[in-house]
Amino acid sequence: MSGMTMRIPGSMLLLVVLLVGCTTRKQTDLLEARLRDQESRISELMDSLDRSQADLKLAQKQNLDLTQQLSQSGQPVLQPEQANVLYRLAGVRIDPLQSAILPVSQTSESMLNLVLTPLDQYDEPLKIPADLTVEVRVSRQVVETFQLTATELASHWNSGWLSSGYILQFPLSEQSTAAKNLEVTARFRSLDGREFTDKLRIAGQHEPPVMQAVPRPPEFDAEPDRIPDLPDETTRMETSDRRTVDEFPVYR
């Protein structure tokens, strides 16, 4: 019995071969169908890419033509790198840590130190030209207004290690200086017509507090009181029982 081998009928082998062949054929057909589908999608994407590139070239040509027309008319024109920054502009912020009212040295006047930063959607600073209007309010009333063109504003840009932005200084009137609080509003109008606004409340300069006289410390004599002389070693010292120290017995 141990030397006998199991024989598989020929019909069984034929059935197994047919099943394997059918399975392989189905998998091959499925792979071919997927490849044809991917080739079709790649062809569509290539056609879409070609159309997009053609539209981009046409838009660039139109932009160049418009730029030349504006330049000939004398109107300000954005350079390509400036246009890329302009489209990223999403807001403007007054730096509350670096904006304050500062005294002018050797005078009684004060000035408003303002740090203004244009930002993109990720709060990254952008160096971009724009027209700026700054309003100073006292008790909700506008008392001072300052305006800068895009050309004037560009010269105030500063790139720092901690922060970057436009550093501006405006002289303040006595009314603004005497106020306890000032509300500063900055309106940043970009060259494409969009306007961004930010507000900040700044504490005004107060008069220095009156220094009260500090009482002077009591005066002491230059020479300390005389220390009494110590008793001589030979002087007898009386004890509570009226006997002197020398009269106590000494045990050896």
Quote the pLDDT of residue 210.
45
Distance separating alpha carbons of residues 252 and 247, to the nearest angstrom = 15
| Confidence band, pLDDT 50/70/90 cuts, at residue 252 | low
Task: Calculate what percentage of the chain has a pLDDT beyond 90.
Answer: 31
Mean pLDDT (whole number) for 200-220:
61
- Which pLDDT tens digit goes with each residue over 227-249? 556 555 555 555 555 555 555 55
- What is the Rg, in whole angstroms, of the alpha carbon atoms belonging to the chain? 47
pLDDT at 9: 59
pLDDT at position 213 over 60: no
Confidence of residue 251 (pLDDT cuts 50, 70, 90): low
| Residue 169 one-letter amino acid | Q
CB 95 within 8 A of CB 118: no
Q: How confident is the model at residue 85 (pLDDT cuts 50, 70, 90)?
A: confident
Summarised one tens digit per residue, pLDDT across range 29-43 is: 778 888 888 888 898
Query: What is the mean pLDDT of the segment spanning 52-76?
Result: 75
pLDDT at 208 over 50: no
Q: What are the C-alpha distances in Å from 152 to residues 76, 161, 187? A: 14, 24, 15
Note the pLDDT of residue 169: 94
> What are the residue boundaries of the structural domains of the chain, listed by start?
15-72, 88-203
- The edge-to-edge listing of strands for the beta sheet with 181-190 is 141-148, 130-138, 181-190, 195-203
- In the predicted structure, residue 181 carries a pLDDT above the cut 90: no
Average pLDDT over residues 3-17: 57
CATH topology of domain 88-203: Immunoglobulin-like (2.60.40)
Q: Which residues are CB-neighbours of 206 under 8 A, at least 6 positions away?
A: 180
- Residue 1 has a pLDDT of 45
- For residue 2, what pLDDT is reported? 47
Determine the pLDDT at residue 78.
65
What mean pLDDT is predicted for residues 76-94? 79
Position 75 scores a pLDDT of 60
Maximum C-alpha span of the chain: 143
CA dihedral in degrees (71, 77, 82, 88; nearest 10)?
A: -130
